[in-house]
Every structure is written in C-alpha cells, then in structure tokens.
C-alpha cells in the first residue's frame, strides 16, 4: 500500500490536484504507472471510472467527510461493483493521498486562492497575507431567529435522513433519530448502513444483523457481512458462505458464487472464476457465468450490458443477444436510451441497437427526466432525447436536476439553471448545494477578510457560514451555521457553535410566499 500511495502522491505533486478532474488523462497515467501491478491498476482504474478520487477531493473540502465516504462505499458495494475488501482498499488509497495539505500545497491551490480572494496587503512576517473576499450580495428575505428555534441534539455527528430516520453517533456508537429529534434507535451499534426497504444493517460485537424503524433487532446479529435489502432479498455471509435471506431472516438461496450484484428486475448478477452470469430469486442459474467483469451486472429496462473480449452489447433476461457486442463501453438503459462509446466517442442507442444521438461526445450520462448531461470539448451541458442542446454545453460542470433546477459551474463560480437552460440564479464564487424541498444550502463568508498561510495557501481561520436560499435566489435562512444539510420532510440538520441541531422551515418564520 505504501508504494501505491507514494506513487499517487507524486502524481498529484507533479500535475496538481486538477488532474483528478481529467478522467481520461488520469486513467492513461495510472495505466502507465501501474503497468506491472495489474491488481492495483485494475482497482485504481475502476475507482476513476466511478469518480471516487474526484468525490473524495470534494469531500475533503466539506465537513461531512465520514458521511461522504460511507456514501461512496455504499454505492460501490450496493451496485456489486467490488467486494468489501476491494472497496476499503480503494478508499484507503485515495484517502491517504487526498488531504488538505495536498489540496493547498500546489500551484492549483495558489490559483484557487487568487480566484476566490484578491490581495489588499501583506504583513510583516511575510509568511502570511491578508486577502479580501469576493463575497456575493444576495437578496435577503430572512428573518433573524433565536437559537431557541433550533432543536438541540447531543450527538457527536448527525447524518442526513433516509426513510424518515437520521443516523447519529455518540461516543463512537451509532443510533437513529426521527425528524423531531427523538432517539428511536439507541446509540449502541459499532457501525450501520442506511435504511433500505424498512430495515437497516447494524454491527454489534463485530457481527451484522438488521433492525426495523422501531429499533427492534428483526434479524439476528450473527452474520460476518450483511448488505441492504433490495426487492425483498439481502445477501449475507456466514462462515465464509454467501446466502440470501428474506425479510424474516429465512435463508432462501444458498449461493455457490464468488460475488453478487444487487437484485434487479427479478435477477441477480453472479460471479464465478471472474466470469459473470445471472440467477433468479430461487437461486436457479438462468444465464451461466461467461461474461467479463465490469459494469454489466444488472438488468435495466429489460436489458443487461455484457462484454466478451472487451466488446460490449446487451442481452435480454433469457440470455439472448439483443444488441451486438461492438462497443468499447456502454451504460445501462434509462428512459429508453443507453450511452455507448466507439473509438472514444460517446452517443446514445435505443433498445434495438439503433443510433439515435450521434457519437460525438467525450462523455455522457444517463437520461433522467428526459435530459442527459454530455461533455464536448471539455465543457458540459444537457441534451434532450432528440439530441437537441437544452442547457448550453459551456460549463465546467453540471449537476443532476433536483427540484427542477441543476447546479452549474463555470470558472469556479456556481449557480442554477432551469430545464430550459435559463440561469435562474446567477453564477457566483460561493458554495452551493442542490435544491431539496424548495431550498438549497448556500455558503458565504461572514467577514470580508481572511488570513492565508503562504507556505501552504491554507486559510488560518475559515469564516464561511451556511444558510439557505429559495428558487428565486432569495436568502431565506441567514448565514449563521457551521454546517447545513438539505431539508428532509421539512427538517434540516445543522451545526452551530460546535453542536448539532434540527431546524424546520419555520425557522425563517415563513411569512412570505416562496
């Protein structure tokens, strides 16, 4: 591990943290650097494909580091992309490499600082410099509220709500609270996975089991490894054997396979000797393991992506080839279309394998809500299913739409566009999160000035505070929190003066229409 970490650190030292955003170039470099280390090369390339280093770099700039890492792990594990040991190894590699010292101790950090601040003076020690902040002037409809409006929480950490409950940590033990701050599940567990289909995985005395939303241990804590439920089934390991259990804890499938993907459209992807196939909910082998490992491990809209000899196509649930294996890469079907790549260029095909959007993009994402993110000449935008550009392809980054708006970034400034491509909230040099329930978290500096350590370009004292804006760009909850999360069922988790709490939308007093 040490050798891998040192190699990655040198890569970032030489090319700057921005190399993490250049997926193709980074992949090529990793392939060269680890040409003789096939195992780690495969792990690192997969992590880049799943955007793990980019996500880790973004997490290190935020406060909810552990929550973000757990989310990345859950994505990789739930999709059956890797086993738990491989996931932990990937996270460990990038976590050791990406940290605040690395982020600020290079030329990119120097440029980032200059884009965010402009110098007004130097002080005598010459080790520090005072920068004036380019703060945003927002429209203000917020009403000053007393801290009594906050429901106080006693926990060391509070994570976002899922299925009505939020995970909490106290003295390194985990539990769950409801939207009123009541502790529903006692803080006694060593770790957890979020609720899925009404049940959550918990760990106690190094064993795993399941609890319901009342905190009752519904399935005994006895397994070596346990995963979330999908379509009424969950894979678990006991005595080095994988079995599937139902919601009552009954063993319904005894598996002979090495690994499994998530249950999807009545079938489960299974691996044997590094080849993938599918079995049904009764454990019967429907499609024998003969396909190469990769993304093609689950069915979407009746088709599964599979590869042989490095070429990708699609099969139906009977194992019949429906779309010829001729693509370098493919994505799963979504809203009737799938991204596909030939000779490094991406386009979209339909379920009959016909090209419907030309292969001219350097990267594409799946369609959601009749819009898809596409990259062309290093810039991102959105197209519709007819290939018509809806949101101009001019941004450095575009996020998925949420509440009808998408966060976009250009030249380190962020704002929001609607589904017609209008910039409804202008771009500014501030922190923004996606909209949920009509509000978005916004971060800004409460002081005009910041002291920067010139040795590392590291802020000596961060003055950023967080509040909320509505879809018209009005500030509805003032910048006062050290941390803020999206609203869930009218409640948001915040941190103020080192303590967590819950606020409701009425915190802004709600005396005007949004």
The domain limits of the chain are 1-105, 118-182+435-514, 368-429
Can you give the pLDDT at residue 105? 34
Q: DSSP code of 19?
A: G
- Any residues with CB less than 8 A from the CB of 80 and at least 6 apart, and which? 259, 260, 261, 262, 269, 297, 298
Can you give the pLDDT at residue 58? 64
Residues of the chain with pLDDT under 50: 60-64, 100-137, 140-148, 448-461, 509-514
Can you give the pLDDT at residue 420? 94
- Any residues with CB less than 8 A from the CB of 61 and at least 6 apart, and which? 103
* Strands of 166-170's sheet in order across: 157-158, 166-170, 173-177, 183-189
Can you give the pLDDT at residue 66? 62
Can you give the pLDDT at residue 60? 46
Helix residue ranges, H only, 121-252: none
Class of domain 368-429: mainly beta
Rounded Cα distance between 86 and 70, Å, is 14
Can you give the pLDDT at residue 99? 57
**pTM for the whole structure:** 0.67
Rounded to 10 degrees, what is the CA torsion of 95, 97, 99, 101?
A: 160
Can you give the pLDDT at residue 143? 43
Rounded Cα distance between 472 and 475, Å, is 9
- For 116, the enclosing helix (H) or strand (E) is helix 107-116
Q: Tokens for 119?
A: 């110098």
Can you give the pLDDT at residue 225? 92
């Amino acid at each position: 591990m040490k050798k891998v970490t040192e190699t990655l650190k040198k890569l970032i030292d030489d090319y700057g943290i921005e190399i993490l955003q250049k997926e193709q170039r980074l992949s090529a470099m990793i392939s060269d650097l680890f040409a003789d280390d096939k195992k780690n090369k495969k792990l690192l390339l997969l992590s880049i494909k799943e955007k793990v280093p980019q996500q880790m770099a973004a997490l290190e700039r935020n406060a909810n580091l552990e929550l973000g890492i757990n989310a990345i792990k859950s994505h990789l594990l739930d999709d059956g992309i890797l086993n738990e040991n491989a996931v932990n190894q990937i996270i460990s590699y990038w976590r050791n490499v990406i940290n605040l010292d690395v982020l600020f101790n290079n030329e990119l950090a120097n440029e980032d600082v200059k884009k965010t601040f402009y110098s007004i003076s130097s002080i005598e020690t010459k080790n520090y410099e005072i920068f004036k902040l380019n703060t945003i002037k927002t429209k203000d409809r917020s009403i000053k509220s007393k801290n009594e409006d906050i429901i106080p929480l006693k926990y060391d950490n509070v994570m976002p709500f899922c299925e009505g409950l939020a995970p909490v940590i106290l003295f390194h033990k985990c539990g769950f609270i409801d939207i009123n701050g009541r502790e529903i599940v006692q803080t006694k567990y060593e770790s957890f996975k979020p609720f899925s289909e009404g049940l959550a995985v918990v760990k106690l005395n190094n064993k795993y089991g399941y609890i319901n939303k009342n905190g009752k241990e519904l399935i005994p804590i006895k397994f070596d490894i346990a995963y979330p439920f999908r379509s009424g089934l969950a894979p678990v390991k006991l005595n080095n054997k994988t079995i599937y259990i139902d919601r009552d804890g009954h063993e319904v499938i005894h598996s002979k396979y090495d690994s499994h993907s998530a249950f999807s459209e009545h079938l489960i992807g299974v691996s044997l000797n590094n080849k993938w196939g599918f079995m049904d909910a009764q454990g019967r082998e429907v499609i024998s393991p003969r396909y190469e490992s990769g993304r093609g491990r689950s069915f979407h809209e009746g088709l599964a992506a599979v590869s042989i000899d490095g070429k990708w196509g699609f099969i139906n649930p009977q194992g019949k080839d429906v779309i010829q294996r001729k693509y370098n890469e493919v994505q799963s079907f979504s809203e009737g279309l799938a991204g596909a790549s030939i000779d490094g260029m991406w386009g979209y095909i339909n379920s009959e394998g016909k090209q419907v959007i030309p292969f001219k993009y350097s990267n594409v994402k799946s369609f959601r809500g009749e819009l898809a993110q596409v990259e062309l000449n290093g810039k991102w935008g959105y197209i519709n299913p007819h290939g018509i550009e809806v949101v101009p392809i001019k941004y450095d980054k575009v996020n998925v739409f949420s509440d009808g708006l998408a966060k976009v970034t250009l030249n380190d400034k962020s704002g929001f566009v609607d589904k017609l491509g209008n910039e409804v909230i202008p771009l500014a040099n501030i922190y923004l999160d996606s909209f949920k329930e009509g509000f978005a978290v916004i971060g800004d500096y409460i002081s005009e000035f910041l002291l920067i350590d010139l040795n590392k370009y590291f802020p000596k004292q961060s003055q950023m505070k967080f509040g909320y804006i509505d879809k018209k760009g009005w500030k509805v909850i003032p910048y006062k929190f050290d941390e803020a999360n999206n609203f869930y069922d009218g409640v948001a988790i915040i941190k103020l003066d080192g303590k967590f709490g819950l606020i409701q939308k009425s915190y802004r007093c709600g005396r005007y229409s949004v």
